[in-house]
Structure 1
Amino acid sequence: MTGDEALPPGTQQIDAGAARRQRRRLAASEQAPWLHQEVAARMLDRLPVIRLQPTAVLQSRPSTGGGDEGLRQHYPQATQLWLEPEDDVRALLAQRLRRGFMQSVMDRLRGSAPPELVAEPPPGAAQLAWSNMELHAEADKPALVRRWHAGLAVEGCLMFSCLGPDSFIELRPIYAREGWGMPAPDWVDMHDLGDLLVHAGFADPVMDQEHLRLTWGSPADLLRDLRALGGNLAPDRMRGLRTKGWRERLMRALESLRGPDGRLSLSIELVYGHAFKPQPKVKVAATTEVSLDQMRAMVRGAGKH
């Protein structure tokens, strides 16, 4: 692709190898990162605006998100499908499910079945697709969004969240001044993400954003919490092993984040979105072929109006 050609919506430079390693680390943990759990709670608070009672929920990369328990509480009778396309990460999730076997038995006794782990979403199987804090760290965003679309039934709903462009912006001048490359990729803004949804076949995307200011008492606390989120996915980040001297230099540089209240602070921009999978459109031509499944879907849709 040349510089004169238009890039697809949602295009972003992400180190795909680093993203895979990050997903493995997160899947090996019993809990999603602290920030992801907080965002999952905020997404769950938004669920009442979606007037669906799904029989199946597609959770995209649940090791990242941390919303499984809340989704089960909202939809106790729904089948939970855990979508994880990568074999090694899926194996880690399978181990987690085996470790939680007795809890799964108790869930079944209460009417909640254990999740089904899938590499690809069964076509049209779910009425709700859920992705929490995943999309910003995906190298091939169009492919991921197409997976969501394929797994949704007609008139099913997608809900997702991810980081926006203002996340960690205070680190950029520090890293530029020290010659350390980029501290994070250039996150995609919500308008381009909305275009990405439409490009993949979704309808009526609604996008929203929220800004958080997180504070810490010391550089060590800040670094500990950032490390728990996974790592730097920027392709032009500084490479190589870090020395003790580099860490000390970083700790001193982070002191510039200290505000009038005496605490270090960083900005987080959260992007929320939801959209629906519309009835399929049939292209009109001199001769138009319509499959029986398409015809049934259109007839069902017409009968609801």
Structure 2
Amino acid sequence: MPTERPPTIDPIAAARWHESAPALSPWLHEEVARRMEDRLQWIRQAPAAWCHWEAVRGGLEGHALVSARYPKARCFVVETTRKAREAASQSLSKPWWSRWTGEQARLEMPDEGAVQMLWANMALHMVADPQALMAQWHRALAVDGYLMFSCLGPDTAKELRAVYADMGWPPAGHAFTDMHDWGDMLVQAGFAEPVMDMERITLTFATPQRLLEELRELGCNLHPGRFAALRGRAWREQLYKALEQRLIDRSGSGQLSLTFEIIYGHAFKPAPRVRVSSSSAVSLNDMRAMLRNGPARG
């Protein structure tokens, strides 16, 4: 297995984006949340408690859908920036969907092993250390709890990447991780039975300006080899012209089209296993889980 793989992310730029990202739910995030929520119909056991990781960026309308599906479940919302916490506090204090749900969401980190589902929509592809984030999710989940997540895949904005390459410019964006690599990372983080799949969504835009506005809302270029300085108006006009020529929709609508690859992932937290050695250390929570679940299978 390679020691380094996508995403090719500059950690400093990623941290800066994380703090400055708009405290709102982009349209694409809400659409992906809606599609991911529909997959919950295949989950037999409703969670007694669930955690929404970064609900503001992940989609507040999606949060409402999941809350309505599990009205009796306790809900924790984790926001990791001040701006997002303020937005979440305002949005969740008197939610419009409250007539369908029970207890109000708690804006706090759940205790270790406190939730049976962790929901993370469209977050992983902007994280410099995704395995550290997966470890946090793993700790929050109870044994036999499950993770539901989505993120952007490698084919996202392939048309824009091709334009930059043909113009001889630095990369248009950092590389996104393939779903098979996400599955490997989930296993390394302690999850079991990862199930990964993907779909492609094509969005159309009337103008290059509207296309770039949408991209700025979704994220930014975190590639270490991106443009090192600001570009001028002449470069911007050159970009607009290239997008109008290269991204024109072949259907004849006159719209500019851009591809987004969406990856969906699902995995369980298995009962902990202890490696037999001359000296073994087991946390109290792991010991309790092993006693509840009996001897580990396999």
TM (normalized to structure 2)? 0.88
Cα distance in 2 between the residues matched to 1:242 and 1:7: 34
Distance 2:110 2:89 in 1: 21
Is 2:180 the partner of 1:180? no
Q: Paired residue for 2:271, among 279, 284, 289?
A: 279
The 1:278–1:103 alpha-carbon spacing in structure 2 relative to 1, beyond 3 Å, is same
| Residues 257, 282 of structure 1: alpha-carbon distance in 2 compared, 3 angstrom cutoff | same
**Contact 2:22–2:217 under 8 Å retained in 1:** no
Can you give the 5+ residue segments of structure 2 that lack an aligned partner in the other structure?
none
Whether 1:126 aligns to 2:115 is: yes
Paired residues for 1:26-65 under 5 Å: 26-29=21-24, 32-65=25-58
Q: What residue identity is the alignment partner of 2:267?
A: A
Task: Give the conservation status (yes or no) of the 8 Å contact 1:60–1:131.
Answer: yes
The amino acid that maps onto 1:48 is: Q
Q: Aligned letter for 2:83? A: L
Partner in structure 1 of residue 147 of structure 2:
158
CA–CA distance in structure 1, aligned partners of residues 270 and 93 of structure 2: 40
Counterpart CA distance in 2 for 1:105 and 1:259 is 38
**Residues 71-93 of structure 1: per-residue CA shift (max 9 Å, x gap):** 211111222212234xxx1x223
Contact map agreement 1:121 1:147 (CA 8 A) in 2: no
Query: Shift in Å at residue 106 of structure 1?
Result: 8.5
1:73 aligns with 2:64: no
CA distance in 2, matches of 1:104, 1:15: 37
d(CA) in 2 for partners of 1:207, 1:13: 21
User: Alpha carbons of 1:277 and 1:246: their partners in 2 closer, same or farther (altered >3 Å)?
Assistant: same
Residue 300 of structure 1, CA deviation: 2.4
Distance 1:218 1:101 in 2: 35
Query: 1:116 is paired with a residue of what secondary structure?
Result: coil
Matches of 1:101 and 1:169, distance apart in 2: 36
* Structure 2 partner of 1:269: 261
Relative distance call for 1:253 and 1:291 in structure 2 (3 A) is closer
* CA RMSD of superposed structures (Å): 2.6
Aligned pairs, number: 292
**Structure 1 residue 288: deviation in Å?**
5.7
Is contact 1:26-1:63 (8 Å) kept? no
For 2:73, give the aligned amino acid: A
Residue number among 18, 37, 40 corresponding to 1:23 in the alignment = 18
| Identical columns (%) | 44
Displacement, 1:95? Answer: 2.1
Cα distance between partner residues in 2 of 1:257 and 1:295:
57
* Runs of 4+ with >6 A deviation: none
Structure 2 SS opposite 1:268: strand
**2-side partners of 1:212 and 1:292: how far apart?**
45
Distance 1:21 1:291, change over 3 A: closer
- CA shift, 1:102, in A, is 5.6
Are residues 217 and 261 of structure 1, via their aligned partners in 2, closer, same or farther at CA, if it must alter by over 3 Å? farther
- 2:104 equivalent to 1:114: yes
Give the drift of 1:298. 2.4
State the SS of the aligned residue for 2:156. coil
Q: What displacement does 1:280 show?
A: 0.7
What SS is found at the alignment partner of 1:211?
Answer: strand
- Alignment check: 8 A CA contact 2:150 2:262 kept: yes
Does structure 1 residue 258 correspond to structure 2 residue 248? yes
CA deviations 1:159-209 (Å, max 9, x no partner) are: 100011111111122112223211111111000000000000000000001
Pair 245,56 (structure 1): closer, same or farther in 2 beyond 3 Å = same
Aligned residues of 1:211 and 1:267 also touching (Cα < 8 A): yes
For 2:242 and 2:95, how far apart are their aligned partners in 1?
47
Q: Distance in 2 between matches of 1:251 and 1:128?
A: 43
Output the CA distance in 1 between the equivalents of 2:201 and 2:100: 37
Q: Which runs of 5+ in 1 are unaligned?
A: none
1:245 equivalenced with 2:234 (yes/no) = yes
**Structure-1 separation of matches of 2:169 and 2:282:** 56
Partner of 2:137: 148
> Residue type of the partner of 2:222?
L
Q: Deviations over 1:12-61 (max 9, x none)?
A: 321233333333344533xx111111000000000111222112111112
1:242 and 1:126 mapped to 2: Cα distance?
47
Q: State the Cα deviation string for residues 259-295 of structure 1 (Å, max 9, x = none).
A: 4323322111111110000011122235666666544
1:7: which partner in 2? 3
Task: Give the structure 1 partner of residue 185 of structure 2.
Answer: 196
Alpha-carbon separation, structure 2, partners of 1:293 and 1:124: 8
